[in-house]
A and B are shown apart, each in its own frame.
Chain A
Amino acid sequence: MESRDLLRHQIIESLITHRTEKVADAAMNVWEKLATEIISVVGEEGFNSLYERSVFLAQRTFPWLAARSLSPQSDHRFAELKIRLAEQTPVQARVANILLLITFTDILTSLIGEALTTRILRSAWGSEELMAGHPNDISNKAGKEFDNE
């Protein structure tokens, strides 16, 4: 379980680290895809509950992540996160976003298990995206991990 957890964490880290666009934009892209996939399973309220809890836990490490509220409009769901990330240095923003995603997927895993979580992540982000532009061991492992599910 721990090694699978670690692998999922590495996948997220790899996914975020190797994005070429601006950190805040990359974060939005990743979160929007993830949100679409998860909302189709647990609805808006379910997603919001997961996301709020993730922000609450991650803000212990990065207090500036504290969100006042989720935007009620689905197309501006992550507007506040984008503002917060854009206010930080790229390194700081990237590390915080990785932590937030890991926290989010950890909670999801605790609810529905690793296998289902991985399927959802694969649907959201796809293996191709994971493989793109970073042919290293982790991304290869990530791709395999996702393909083998």
Chain B
Amino acid sequence: MNDKAPVPGREKLAAAREEAVGLREKAVDVREGRVTTRERDIRAAEMTQGTSNDQISLLRQANAQLVIATIDAHKLAEQVQTAHADLDHLVHHDVLTGLPNRILLNDRLAQAIALAHRQGKQLAVMFMDLDRFKHINDSLGHAVGDRLLQSVAHRLVGGVRHSDTVSRQGGDEFVLLLPDIEHAEDVALSAQKMLMAIARPHLIERHDLHIGVSIGISIYPDDGQDAETLIKHADIAMYHAKESGRNNYKFFEPDMNARAVQRQSIEVGLRRALERQEFVLHYQPKINLHSGTIVGVEALIRWQHPQRGLLEPAQFVSIAEDSGLILPIGRWVLREACLQARTWQDAGLPPIAVAVNTSALEFRAADFLEYVRATLDESGLEPRYLELELTESVLMRDAASADSVLHALADLGVKLAVDDFGTGYSSLSYLRQFPIDTLKIDQSFVNQITRNPDDGTLVSAVISMGKSLRQRVIAEGVETAEQAAFLLAQHCDEGQGYFFGRPVGAEALAVLLQAGVSPVFPH
């Protein structure tokens, strides 16, 4: 038997075994394949789940951003709306007092006129201007002035009906619209009520401030058919209330227009007067009460009007102040007075000081000091012969700034006087601090010194105070021998007034200077 010879039984067995192994391998392959598929499925499911979570998270983030963006947009829209409302309020209201302004008043007035026209009714416009407010603003400063305006606004609003409109026109001017009035008498009552409301003292920063108001009234339809005319006529009536002593009211009357036109014509004329050299200076002597000698003069402006003749300052200075023309006019006065004083000296007359009134506008001009210095240089007048007269209100407003200018003037050698002393608000500590040479007692006190014991006492006190501050004291408006005697008895240094001499032209004053003493004193 050959061992290597194939045996059919074994072969079959081997083949069967191989087949079985092959099948097992296939089975393993199939099992492994199933496992792989399952793993792939699980992995795929896990990936799907992961993707879904990511998407939710992304959606949530997107939602959050949308919510935030939308709410931010809401906030912005609200801010724009608020700003729009604020702007609208600002356009139609006065910032200081919160009252309706000129624009809103005109709008309401136009509506009220239309309604009154349809219903055949009347309405009233009151134009109100505070009396001497500038005085308070100048002496106590803008902060106090502003608080006073707020207080006045509060009083006005408190005194009107809900249907009335109180507006601020600007500055110290207020306009009140009273729609639907029955009789002019009712308006008069309202005006009276306003006067009383404003007259009560205003307590502001420890100051008990007293202020009056002048009121002009126009009535629709009698005094005007439109807003502009009614306001203009109420304004004109207000000027008349001021001219009639202030702190009262006036109804518009047609002939008031003529005077308003005249005022306008004065302003136009003033603008030309400087070019045409229509101004002249008159000089009023200041007298030493002990010796009777002329120790100085006050330069006083006059306007040689081409049609109306020689006009006193009262007829045009307030218009010059309102229009700002007081600045060039004041500078002309200063230059002219210095040149004249030098001319008198050159003519061999005794040298005297010439006093010049200085307005607030001039004093606050940035180049005031420089102008004074240049004018003295040009005229050749020694500074000690120039005296600048300033009112308390000019000095006390922004006292720190005034102090430096005053000291610069004093260093230059210019003399300084407080004019109309006693009529404004003065701080005694500043009076001591300022380099003031002279106090001029206002003529309103001097007028009454021999008749009213209170005024006499006041004048005596001012003289004593001036002495103790080592200042010269001069009394203005001395008109009688009794007044002069009283002042002399109180040791007042100097006097000025009609009793000693009226203001006269330069040539006439030269004659007086030549004589050396006042005509009323024995030579």
Contact = CB atoms under 8 A, between A and B. Distances in A.
Contact of B70 (A41, A43, A45, A111): A111
Interface string A130-141: 000000000000
Interface of B: 60-61, 63-68, 70-71, 74-75
A53 B70 CA distance: 11
B60 A50 contact: no
A46 B64 contact: yes
A49 B60 contact: no
Contacts of A41: 60, 63
A111 B72 CA distance: 12
A43 B61 CA distance: 6
A42 B71 contact: no
A138 to B, nearest CB: 29
Nearest to A111: B70
Interface residues of A, number: 12
A111 B67 CA distance: 7
B75 A43 contact: no
Nearest 8 interchain pairs by C-beta: A46-B64, A43-B64, A46-B67, A42-B63, A45-B64, A43-B60, A49-B68, A42-B67
Chain A contact residues: helix, strand, loop or mixed: helix
Nearest to B74: A53
20 contacts: A41-B60, A41-B63, A42-B63, A42-B64, A43-B60, A45-B67, A45-B68, A46-B60, A46-B63, A46-B66, A46-B67, A49-B64, A49-B67, A49-B71, A50-B67, A50-B71, A53-B74, A53-B75, A107-B71, A111-B70
A5 B64 CA distance: 24
A20 interface: no
Contact of B71 (A40, A43, A44, A53): A53
A44 B64 contact: yes
A43 B65 CA distance: 9
B78 to A, nearest CB: 9
Contacts of A45: 64-65, 67-68
Interface in A29-51: 40-46, 49-50
Contacts of B67: 42, 45-46, 49-50, 111
Interface in A5-64: 40-46, 49-50, 53
